[in-house]
Amino acid sequence: NAGVTQTPKFRVLKTGQSMTLLCAQDMNHEYMYWYRQDPGMGLRLIHYSVGEGTTAKGEVPDGYNVSRLKKQNFLLGLESAAPSQTSVYFCASSYRGDTQYFGPGTRLTVL
Amino acid sequence: AQSVAQPEDQVNVAEGNPLTVKCTYSVSGNPYLFWYVQYPNRGLQFLLKYITGDNLVKGSYGFEAEFNKSQTSFHLKKPSALVSDSALYFCAVKIVGDKLSFGAGTTVTVRA
């Protein structure tokens, strides 16, 4: 099993550009999450999903959108990137809210 | 609000010495508590969790954590630290909606 994978690993954007981060899991988990990690702030939840076709806002949802069209995939979109969105993004999945398992992360820089 | 706090930004220990990483929690009801470790340029790895039962929880890589209800703490411990234990450690608590609230993290440095 690959576990949780994230694409891409690195990305540099200019302010105003858009992009989509892809998260995939092969553990048949119901729940999936998107976090951002910034120095000294731990992980903050952006959006999450409790099943295929569902999404919900987390702690810091502004400027991001998500979609969960397939159970194994959870997409995070930035419609108009801003420098404040420079961060490391982590995806995680869990079986019905139990232990979360994390992907390797995507390092995003917005210039 | 349900949350955890990690009072130390950094912990420095010598190899072979005991390692303790502190975590305190603030929740209503019975807490579900977790410890994760993050090595440089990697994702978070699950170490252990407390749901109910024994106050001493054993996890991966020789780590254990002690749940103390009276002190609202869930400290991570390892009897003999290794240089390879140098990493960023996060405490987390399960909150409403099956989400996790993370502490700010503690950087552990184990010197040879």
Nearest CA in chain B to A91: B43
Q: CB burial class (10 A; 0-12, 13-18, 19+) of residue A111?
A: exposed
Work out the average pLDDT over A53-71: 96
Contact (Cβ atoms closer than 8 angstroms) between residue B101 and residue B4: yes
With the C-alpha atoms ordered B83, A37, A12, A102, is the resulting torsion angle positive or negative? positive
Looking only at the bridges linking them, the beta strands covering B99-102 and A10-13 are unpaired
Looking only at the bridges linking them, the beta strands covering B3-5 and B99-102 are unpaired
Assign B107 a pLDDT band (cuts: 50, 70, 90). very high
pLDDT in tens, B10-21: 999 999 999 999
Contact (Cβ atoms closer than 8 angstroms) between residue B102 and residue A43: yes
Assign A84 a pLDDT band (cuts: 50, 70, 90). very high
What pLDDT was estimated at residue B6? 96
What pLDDT was estimated at residue A41? 84
Put simply, the answer to whether A31 touches B98 (Cβ < 8 Å) is yes
Alpha-carbon gap: A16 to the closest alpha carbon of chain B (Å): 27
Mutation pick from B94, B98, B101, B107 vs chain A, by most beta carbons of A within 10 Å, is B98
Put simply, the answer to whether B102 touches A42 (Cβ < 8 Å) is yes
Token pair for B70: 């009276």
What pLDDT was estimated at residue A108? 97
Work out the average pLDDT over B58-79: 96
What pLDDT was estimated at residue A40? 82
Alpha-carbon gap: A96 to the closest alpha carbon of chain B (Å): 8
User: Chain-wide mean pLDDT for chain B?
Assistant: 94
Work out the average pLDDT over A2-12: 95
B100 CB neighbours in chain A (<8 A) are 43, 45, 100
Contact (Cβ atoms closer than 8 angstroms) between residue B33 and residue B90: no
Q: CB burial class (10 A; 0-12, 13-18, 19+) of residue B45?
A: middle
B49 CB neighbours in chain A (<8 A) are 99
What pLDDT was estimated at residue B25? 95
Share of chain B above pLDDT 90, in %: 83
